[in-house]
């Protein structure tokens, strides 16, 4: 799914405000921006993957249903993390997943909230890497840029790419491979 709108460039606070004002696109960008981080947060608690996924789905459904009742959030990511952990904790305690004393040790992870500073640093780093990736993509030959766009933004398979670019299936694979290889090399050299 390609989200080509002005919300991709918004910071989380702007997205949060737009989402609270019934903007589905802003909500979708928030979802895609934070889903992986929240999923990792749940997995760090040593919970089953399906439980984490189900709880995430329930969490985002709840957010959408109650969007107009949500308050302002200066740091939406922090709000999302705390709220998601709270929901996970409630699910765990209600389902009697806690069987032994060692399980309570795992719940200490819930108490370790990331600092606002840590979240801000992570957001800045993600933004910096995204800008860097965009710069590196612009350095690629135009044909490789097109192929990458079709593969990763339009979510086309190699057959569709070869048809769109009027090239062979193998050529489409080669274009993507070379582009990704160049991007990896440029990132490896700088880090």
Reading the chain (191 residues) residue by residue, the pLDDT tens digits are 444 456 677 888 888 999 999 998 989 898 999 999 899 888 887 788 888 999 999 999 999 999 989 888 888 888 898 889 889 888 887 765 444 444 555 555 555 556 677 777 888 888 888 888 888 989 999 999 999 888 887 788 999 999 989 999 999 999 999 999 998 888 776 54
Q: Is the pTM of this model over 0.85?
A: no
Tokens of 171: 């050529």
| Separation of alpha carbons 151 and 30, rounded Å | 22
Residue 44 tokens, joined:
């760090």
- Long-range pairs for 142-150: beta carbons < 8 A, 24 or more residues apart: 143/175, 144/175, 144/176, 144/178, 144/179, 144/182, 145/179, 147/172, 147/175, 147/176, 147/179, 148/176, 148/179, 148/180
């Amino acid at each position: 799914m390609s989200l080509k709108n002005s919300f991709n460039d918004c910071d989380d606070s702007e997205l949060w405000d737009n989402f609270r004002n019934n903007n589905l696109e802003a909500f979708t960008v928030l979802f895609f921006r934070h889903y992986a981080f929240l999923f990792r947060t749940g997995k760090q608690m040593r919970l089953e993957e399906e439980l984490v996924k189900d709880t995430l789905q329930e969490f985002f459904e709840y957010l959408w249903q109650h969007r107009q009742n949500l308050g302002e959030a200066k740091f939406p990511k922090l709000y999302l993390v705390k709220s998601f952990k709270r929901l996970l904790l409630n699910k765990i305690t209600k389902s009697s997943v806690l069987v032994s004393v060692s399980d309570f040790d795992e719940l200490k992870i819930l108490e370790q909230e990331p600092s606002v500073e840590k979240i801000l640093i992570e957001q800045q780093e993600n933004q910096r890497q995204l800008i860097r990736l965009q710069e590196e993509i612009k350095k690629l030959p135009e044909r490789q840029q097109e192929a990458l766009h079709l593969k990763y933004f339009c979510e086309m398979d190699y057959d569709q790419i070869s048809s769109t670019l009027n090239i062979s299936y193998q050529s489409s694979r080669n274009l993507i491979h070379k582009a990704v290889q160049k991007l990896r090399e440029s990132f490896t050299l700088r880090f």
